[in-house]
Structure 1
Amino acid sequence: MGFLRASPPEAFVFLRSLKEVDLTSKDFSRVKKLADLDLDYQELKEDFSILSSLAANIAGTELSEVNFIDNFTQWTVASTLGGFSQKPREEAICNYTIEEDHHLEIHLAEDPRFKNSNYVTQDGYRYYYGIPLKFGDDVAIGTLCVGGKNIDELSEKQVEQLHLIAHQIVKRIQLKFELKLAKDNILRERKLKRQLAHDVRSPLSGISQLVELTDFHDSSKEELGEVIKLIASSADSVLELTDEILNDILIKDELKKSKSVFTFEALGKKLLNLYKPQAESKQIKFSVHYDSLKREFTGKNLLPLIGNLISNAIKFTAEGGSVRVDLNLIGLKPKDEKIRVRVDDTGIGMTPEQIEAITQTDTRDRLKSSGANGFGMGLLFVRELTEDLGGDLHIKSKPDRGTQITITLPLTLE
C-alpha cells in the first residue's frame, strides 16, 4: 500500500522488486510538478494527520496514509501508524495507484502480486483502497490510501467521503502553494519600497537643494529658466530611474517567482534528515558536508534538485557503499558567487555512452519521449531543472568505479 514502514510491527513491509521502476515521461512530469510545488515533506504532517485519521475512521480500517511519490521514493507524510517516513517506491502498492485515473481497489489475499507478502500472511491485511492525488487532469503526485484487516469492501458512501478527503488534501496543497507565493509577493513589495526610497532619495535631494539655493526674487528670467530646466531634467531622471527599478523587479519576479530561503547549515541538515534513512536501509554510509557561512540565500527547487541526485546515488550504490554530498559557495566576487553541489558515490557507475545520453539534447529528448531506466530519467530531470535555474551539470563516472556529479547554480544572496 502506501503504507509500508519498517518500524511499526504491523506496517506493510514489502518484498523487493514488487514493481521495479521503469521511469517514463509521465514520471518526469510528476517530479516536475512536485518540484514546482517545492514541498517540504517533513513539515506536512500537521497538515494531513487529521485527514489521514478521518479517512481511517470513515473506512473502518486500521491504516490510512497520505503519500507523495517521486522518481525513487515514497514519502509518507501522515499515517495512522505514526509520523513521517519513507521507503523505496518499488516496495509500495501506491506505486500502482498513481497510474490509475480514479482509484485502485485490491483484495490482497486474492491478488497473486500480494497474497504471499508478509503484510498479508503475517499482519493479516486483507483490503486496500487507494486514490491518486491529482491537480486537474495532471499526473498524480501521491495518494490517499486505506488498508484493513477485517473488511472486504467499502460502501458507496464511504468511497464518496474518501474521495472528498482526497480532494481536500489536493486543495490544501494548492492553498499552501498560493500562500507561499503571496508571502513572497509581500516580501518583494517591501524590498521594492526600500529600493525606491534609497535610489530616488539622492536625485530628489538634489532638486530640493537647488530650489533652496535659488533666489527667485533677484534672479533673471534666463537664470530662472535654467533652474527650471535643471529641475525638470532631474525629475525626468527620477521617473526613468523608477521605471528601471520597477521593470527590473517585474522581470525578476517572472523569472524567479517563489523561492525558499536557506543557509548552508540548514540545507545540509535538511538533506541529512531526509535521506539518511534511505541510505541506512541499504547500509550505505551517507554524509553531508557544507560551508560554515551564516549568510542566507534563496534557491527555488534546491531540495527536489539535490534530493533527486541523492536518491539516484543511493539507488544505484550497493550495500556497504558510500554517498557523500558537498555544499560550497564558490566565486571570488559577490556578483560571481554560486552554490556548488557535488555528490560522490561508490555505485555502479556509467559508461561514456550513458553519460552522453544524459547530457546531449537529442538523446535527452528521446529518453523523455520513449522512457528510460531509473538512472537515465532521474538524471534527465536533474539536468533539465538545473538548466531551468541557469546552472551547469557535469558528470564524471566509470563503470563499477562510482560517479561524481557536480552542479553549479547562481544564487541570490541575502
Structure 2
Amino acid sequence: MTSTVADRTRAEAIADYALIGAPPVADLQGLVELASTVCGVSTAVINIIDDRFQHQVAAVGFTPATCAREDSMCAVVLADPGPVVVSDARKDDRFATNPFVTGEIAHVRFYASSPVITPSGVAIGTLCVFDEDTGELSPDHQKALDLLAHQVVDVLELRRITRELSQSNEQLELFAGQVSHDLRNPLTAITGFLELAADSPEMVDAPRASWAIGRAEAAAERMAVMVSDLLEYARLGGAKPHRDELSLADIAASVIEDLDSAITASGATVTVDADLQVVGDRTLLRALMQNLVANAIKFSSAAGTTPRVEIRAQQLVGSWRLTVDDNGPGIAPDQRERVFALMERDVSHDVPGLGIGLSTCERIASAHGGRIGIDDSPLGGTSVWVVVPL
C-alpha cells in the first residue's frame, strides 16, 4: 500500500468516527487521565492523525490543540504501528530534531505510546504519555497503556454505532414519508375510480361501473406491489435493485393511469415517446417516472399554465436516457443541484410539498448506476434527464 493510499484509508476511517471538530468526549478524557496515573507522568494525550494534521482529541496536563502532521512525534511511529518507549527523545534519531523535543513547541524527553487501531486494522493515531524529564516504563505499565489504547477504540466504536442507529431511525422516518409520498397517486386513482363506479348505477351504466372498478383494482394491485418492493428496497439499503427486462412505454402508461386525477384536474397533455426495452427495477423506475411527471404537472399548473409534459426515452452508446420535459416555470441554474437533496425544494416557487420526490429520483438513478440532472426544456420549462448504463 503506498503512502497516498494509506493516508486516504486512514482519513476515511477517521471520518467514520465523526470525531474531528466534535465536542470533547468524556470517556476519552477519562482514559487519558487513567493513562497518566498508571504510567506515573503528568501528561497524556489521544492523538488522531490524518493526512495533514495531528488532532489532540483528549489530553491531561495541557490544553489539547491541533498541529501539522510533520511536527507530530506520533506520526513518525504510526508508519510502523506498535508500542514505543523512549527514555530520552534527544538521543533518539526519530525525535532528536522534532519541535516537540527541541523546545520550538515543547521540551519532551520521556515518550511512550500505543497505537489506536480500528477493528479493520487501520492505525488512526496513538494513546501517548510523555514528560519533560527522562523516564522509563515497566513492561506492566506498557501493557496497561496498550489495554487503554484498545479501550479508546472501544469508545470510538460505541459512539459510531450509536450514531448510526440514530441515523437509521431518522432514515426510517424519512422512508415512511417517502412511502406515503409515492403511494399517494395510486391511492388517489383508486379513490377516483371507485367514486366513478359509485356514481354509475348498475342498471343505468353497468359497463362504465365495471370499467372503473377494474381500473381501481389495477391501481390497488400496483400499490400493493409498490409497498412490497419499496419495503424490500429499504431493507436492503437501496443497494440491490432488481434487474428485469421491462418496457419504459409500459411504465409510462401505468404512471399516466395513476396520475389520471391530476392530469384531468389540470387539463394536462402528456405525450409519450418511450418505446424502449431496458433492464432495471420496475417498481423503482416507475416511482422515478411518477415523481418526475407529477412534479411537471404540479409546477406547471401552479404557474398558471396548462401543463404540457413530454416523456421521451432513447438508447445511447452503452446507456439509455429518459427525459421528462414540461412547459412550467423552470428551475434556476443555481437551484438545480440543491433540489436533489432530501427535504429541499426550489425556493423560487411557492408550491406545496416536502421536497422528497427529486431526492428519491436521484437515489433510484444512483442505485441503477446512473445519473440525473436538470436542463432547460425546449417546451420552455424544466427538462429532467436520467442516464442509466445498459
Give TM-score, length-normalised by structure 1.
0.50
The answer to whether 1:235 aligns with 2:215 is: no
Give me the whole-angstrom Cα distance separating, in 2, the residues matched to 1:49 and 1:198: 46
Query: What is the CA distance between 1:191 and its match in structure 2?
Result: 1.1
Question: Residue type of the partner of 2:91?
Answer: E
Question: Residue type of the partner of 1:26?
Answer: A
Q: Which residue of 1 aligns with 2:246?
A: none
Query: What is the CA distance between 1:165 and its match in structure 2?
Result: 1.5
Query: What is the CA distance between 1:233 and its match in structure 2?
Result: 0.8
Map residues 118-197 of structure 1 onto 2, 5 A cutoff.
Answer: 125-136=108-119, 138-149=121-132, 152-197=135-180
CA 230–156 in structure 1, closer or farther in 2 if over 3 Å, else same: same
Q: Which residue of 2 aligns with 1:332?
A: 333
Give 3-state SS (helix, strand or coil) of 2:202's partner.
Answer: coil
Query: What is the CA distance between 1:188 and its match in structure 2?
Result: 1.4
Alpha carbons 2:71, 2:99 under 8 Å: kept: no
Alpha carbons 1:70, 1:141 under 8 Å: kept: yes
Larger RCO (CA within 8 A; separation ≥ 6): 1
Map residues 299-378 of structure 1 onto 2, 5 A cutoff.
Answer: 332=333, 334-337=335-338
Query: What is the CA distance between 1:85 and its match in structure 2?
Result: 0.8
Give the structure with higher Rg (CA). Answer: 2
Query: What is the CA distance between 1:226 and its match in structure 2?
Result: 3.1
Question: Residue type of the partner of 2:160?
Answer: F
Query: What is the CA distance between 1:65 and its match in structure 2?
Result: 0.5
Map residues 107-122 of structure 1 onto 2, 5 A cutoff.
Answer: 107=87, 108-114=89-95
Give 3-state SS (helix, strand or coil) of 2:76's partner.
Answer: helix
Give me the whole-angstrom Cα distance separating, in 2, the residues matched to 1:137 and 1:203: 46
Query: What is the CA distance between 1:219 and its match in structure 2?
Result: 1.6
Give me the whole-angstrom Cα distance separating, in 1, the residues matched to 2:75 and 2:200: 85
Question: Residue type of the partner of 1:180?
Answer: R
Map residues 13-412 of structure 1 onto 2, 5 A cutoff.
Answer: 23-107=3-87, 108-114=89-95, 125-136=108-119, 138-149=121-132, 152-211=135-194, 214-215=197-198, 219=202, 225-242=210-227, 245-246=230-231, 254=239, 332=333, 334-337=335-338
CA 189–237 in structure 1, closer or farther in 2 if over 3 Å, else same: same
For residues 110-133 of structure 1, the C-alpha deviation after alignment (integer angstroms, 9 at most, x for no partner) is: 324445767667676432111111
Question: Residue type of the partner of 1:53?
Answer: E
Query: What is the CA distance between 1:181 and its match in structure 2?
Result: 1.8
Provide the aligned C-alpha RMSD in A.
3.8
Give me the whole-angstrom Cα distance separating, in 2, the residues matched to 1:149 and 1:243: 66
Query: What is the CA distance between 1:58 and its match in structure 2?
Result: 0.9
Give me the whole-angstrom Cα distance separating, in 2, the residues matched to 1:112 and 1:206: 78
Query: What is the CA distance between 1:69 and its match in structure 2?
Result: 0.8
CA 253–157 in structure 1, closer or farther in 2 if over 3 Å, else same: farther
CA 197–121 in structure 1, closer or farther in 2 if over 3 Å, else same: closer
Give me the whole-angstrom Cα distance separating, in 2, the residues matched to 1:92 and 1:45: 22
Query: What is the CA distance between 1:334 and its match in structure 2?
Result: 3.5
Give TM-score, length-normalised by structure 2.
0.53
Give me the whole-angstrom Cα distance separating, in 2, the residues matched to 1:56 and 1:187: 39
Give me the whole-angstrom Cα distance separating, in 1, the residues matched to 2:67 and 2:201: 85
Give 3-state SS (helix, strand or coil) of 2:34's partner.
Answer: helix
Q: Which residue of 2 aligns with 1:311?
A: none
Question: Residue type of the partner of 1:232?
Answer: E
Q: How many residues align?
A: 246
Alpha carbons 1:133, 1:142 under 8 Å: kept: yes
Give me the whole-angstrom Cα distance separating, in 1, the residues matched to 2:63 and 2:111: 20
Alpha carbons 2:200, 2:209 under 8 Å: kept: no
Query: What is the CA distance between 1:67 and its match in structure 2?
Result: 0.7
Alpha carbons 1:60, 1:148 under 8 Å: kept: no
CA 203–124 in structure 1, closer or farther in 2 if over 3 Å, else same: closer
Alpha carbons 2:117, 2:124 under 8 Å: kept: yes
Alpha carbons 1:68, 1:74 under 8 Å: kept: yes
CA 232–245 in structure 1, closer or farther in 2 if over 3 Å, else same: same
Query: What is the CA distance between 1:59 and its match in structure 2?
Result: 0.7
